[in-house]
């Protein structure tokens, strides 16, 4: 079990502006599965505890998983409520993510690799 504290400092002693707006959070429950067993939404809470998200304020933002089986996986948020985020099917389902996994949501679009052009 990973224990998380909430002190954000890396190169301590340097104070710079954030490169982008971001929120950290933790999965509290998986969303409903579709008829093929795929999950495209998560119930979440913010870390550290803060006010719930505004409706759809995260639309188009990037969700990156920071722990668990889906570590480093990236998803585009297509909508949210105060405590639920839904992701685009373009990045695949959220299956494999577990309750208590942590993530970061950043105000930057997902960049998807385009398939190489035939030579």
Partner 1 sequence: MKGAMIVLCSMLIASVAAAQATRTPAQAVDAFHAALRSKDTGGALSLLDRGLVVYEFGLVDATVEAYAFRHLAFDMDVAVATQWKLESRRVGGEGDERWVLSSYRVTGKQTDGTTIDQMTLETAILRRSGGLFRIAHLHWSTSDAAFQARAQSQRSQQPAR
User: Which of 49, 51, 72, 116 touches partner 1 (CB under 8 A)?
Assistant: 72
CA distance linking residue 4 with residue 24, whole number of Å: 11
CA distance linking residue 25 with residue 49, whole number of Å: 9
User: Which of 55, 95, 98, 99 touches partner 1 (CB under 8 A)?
Assistant: 95
Count the residues of the shown chain that bind partner 1, applying the rule CB under 8 A: 44
> Closest by alpha carbon to 105, among 11, 1, 16, 24?
24
77 class by beta-carbon count within 10 Å (0-12 exposed, 13-18 middle, 19+ buried): buried
Ranges within 1-40 binding partner 1 (CB under 8 A): 2-20, 22, 24, 36-38
Rule CB under 8 A: which residues touch partner 1?
2-20, 22, 24, 36-38, 62, 64, 66-67, 69-74, 92-93, 95-96, 102, 104, 106, 108, 111, 113
């Amino acid at each position: 079990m990973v224990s998380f504290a909430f002190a954000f400092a890396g190169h301590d002693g340097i104070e710079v502006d954030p490169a982008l707006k971001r929120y950290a959070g933790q999965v509290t429950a998986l969303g409903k599965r579709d008829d093929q067993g795929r999950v495209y939404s998560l119930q979440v809470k913010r870390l550290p505890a803060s006010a719930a998200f505004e409706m759809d304020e995260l639309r188009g933002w990037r969700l990156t998983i920071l722990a668990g089986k889906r570590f480093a996986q990236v998803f585009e948020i297509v909508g949210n409520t105060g405590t639920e985020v839904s992701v685009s099917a373009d990045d695949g389902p959220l299956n494999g993510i577990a309750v208590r996994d942590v993530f970061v949501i950043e105000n930057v679009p997902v960049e998807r690799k385009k398939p190489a052009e035939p030579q």
